[in-house]
Amino acid sequence: QKYGYTHLSAGDLLRDERKRPGSQYGELIENYIKEGEIVPVEITISLLKRAMDQTMAANSQKNKFLIDGFPRNEDNLQGWSKTMDGKADVSFVLFFDCDNEICIGRCLERGKSSGRSDDNRESLEKRIHTYLQSTKPIIDLYERMGKVRKVDASKSVDEVFEKVVQIFDKEG
């Protein structure tokens, strides 16, 4: 809020769509999430674009977005480029880097109250495998472009937040 960004979580948009009565994608999204796999790009981008359009229609000044959890793979990146080229620029990638076991532990703890179908060890290990295979190469690509801002997410919440504030103070 302080920097004028609207936060959009690809995962939250997908989970909300999955629960929406009458959604044509609900069951498909559930199966992908449960298997720790990446939902087809057309679905994710349509949800992101709809949320962005709705935000800007309500207030034309709200045209800066922090998109959480996207792109996750080459297909996502290509889909984004095809759909959003000339409509949206990526200023930088905020990369929360964290040890796999710390991530698993945190998600298992979250799973005690989240109700998320993917907060279990089996799904989390699949997600890490998917991350290493599909997402890490995208981060590496943005790194080569000089657009990655890395945060050591294994630290405490306060330390991580402090680093994020420093990045946003610099990036605007």
CATH no. for residue 42? Answer: 3.40.50.300
Task: Give the closest residue to 90 by CA, choosing from 19, 141, 39.
Answer: 141
Boundary residue ending a domain (90, 112, 142): 90
Domain region containing 112: 94-171
pLDDT 10s per residue in the chain (172 long)? 889 999 999 989 998 999 999 998 999 998 998 887 889 999 999 999 999 999 999 999 999 999 999 998 999 999 999 999 888 889 999 999 999 999 999 999 999 998 888 899 999 999 899 899 999 999 999 999 999 999 999 999 999 999 999 999 999 7
Asked if residue 29 and residue 13 are part of one domain, the reply reads: yes
Asked if residue 108 and residue 83 are part of one domain, the reply reads: no
Exposure string of 98-135, with b = 16+ CB inside 10 Å and e = fewer, is beeeebbeebeeebeeeeeebbbeebbebbbebbeebb
* Angle, vertex CA 100, rays to CA 94 and CA 106, nearest 5: 85
